[in-house]
Amino acid sequence: MKLFRPSLYFGLLSVLGLLFSCVSPDSSKEILPEYALYLLNEDGSNTFFLKESLQDTGKSLEIDVPSKEFTREYIQKKGIFYHFKERNDYFIRYQLDANNQMVATDSILFKDGYLENYLWKNDTDTLLLFTVEKKTTAHARMYVVDTKNFTLLREEPLPFPSSIVDFNLLSIGVVDFVDDKLWIAYCYSKFLTADDYTTSDTMYYATLDFSSLEVLNLQKDTRSSYPGGINTVQSYSARNEQGDFYFMSCPGVALGNNLTKPTAIFRKKKGMHEVDTSYMLDISSIIHNHAYGFWYIGDQKAIIRSEQRNLYTDFSNHHLTFQFEYYLVDLSTKKLEKINIPLDKGTRKENVLVQGNDVYFAIDSEGNKHEIWRYAIDNGQVERISSVSNSASYILRLGFLK
Partner 1 sequence: MDINKALLEKYELGQCNDEELAAVHAWLDAEDWGDLDMEKDVNEAIKDGMWADISSSVGTAPIAQTVLSTPRISTIKKYWLTVAAACIVAIIGGYYYSPEEDLAVFQATNVEPDVISFSKDHFDVVLSPNSEANIDFESGNISLTGNIILRPKRDFVLQDGRSNESFNFKQGEVYFVSEREEQKKLIILSKREMIFLPPVMQRRIKQQFHIS
Task: Catalog residues that contact partner 1 under the rule CB under 8 A.
Answer: 40, 44, 46, 66-67, 71-72, 85-88, 90, 97, 103-107, 109, 114, 134-135, 137, 150, 169, 171, 189, 191, 194-197, 229-230, 253-255, 257, 313-316, 318-319, 346-348
Smallest distance, Å, CB 326 to partner 1? 18
Q: Are 157 and 208 in contact (CB under 8 A)?
A: no
Of 293 and 346, which has the nearer Cβ to partner 1? Answer: 346
Residue closer to partner 1 (CB basis): 147 or 386: 147
The Cα-based distances of 219 to 185, 201, 268 in angstroms read: 9, 14, 12
Asked if 342 and 365 count as a contact pair (C-beta separation under 8 A), the reply is: yes
Q: DSSP character for 123?
A: G
Closest of 217, 142, 153 to residue 175, by C-alpha: 142
**Closest CB 313 distance from partner 1, rounded Å:** 8
Whose CA is closest to 361, among 337, 336, 342, 334? 342
Residue 224 CB partners (closer than 8 Å, separation 6+): 203, 249, 251, 261, 262, 263, 264, 266, 280
**Which helix H or strand E contains 240, and what residues bound it?**
none
Q: Which is nearer to partner 1, 39 or 353 (CB)?
A: 39
Instruction: Pick the closer one to partner 1 by CB: 184 or 328.
Output: 184
Question: Three-state SS for 60?
Answer: strand
Closest to partner 1 by CB, 147 or 257: 257
Nearby residues of 221 by Cβ (< 8 Å), 6 or more positions away: 202, 203, 204, 205, 266, 275, 277
Minimum CB distance to partner 1, residue 66 (Å): 7
**Minimum CB separation from partner 1 for residue 250, in Å?**
10
Is 179 or 195 the residue whose CB approaches partner 1 more closely? 195
Nearest to 346 by CA among 374, 365, 328, 329: 365
Residue 333: burial class (beta carbons within 10 Å; 0-12, 13-18, 19+): exposed
Our CB check for partner 1 shows the closer of 15 and 103 to be: 103
Q: How far apart are the first and last CA of the chain?
A: 59
Provide the 10 A C-beta neighbour count for residue 169. 18
Shortest Å distance, C-beta 33 to partner 1: 19
d(CA 345, CA 307): 9
What is the nearest approach in angstroms of partner 1 to the Cβ of residue 112? 9
If the CB atoms of residues 7 and 260 are measured against partner 1, the closer one turns out to be 260
Contact 244, 238 (CB under 8 A): no
> Smallest distance, Å, CB 40 to partner 1?
6
Residue 30 vs 314, nearer CB to partner 1: 314
The CB-of-65 to partner 1 minimum distance in angstroms stands at 11
Q: In whole angstroms, how close is the CB of 188 to partner 1 at the nearest point?
A: 11
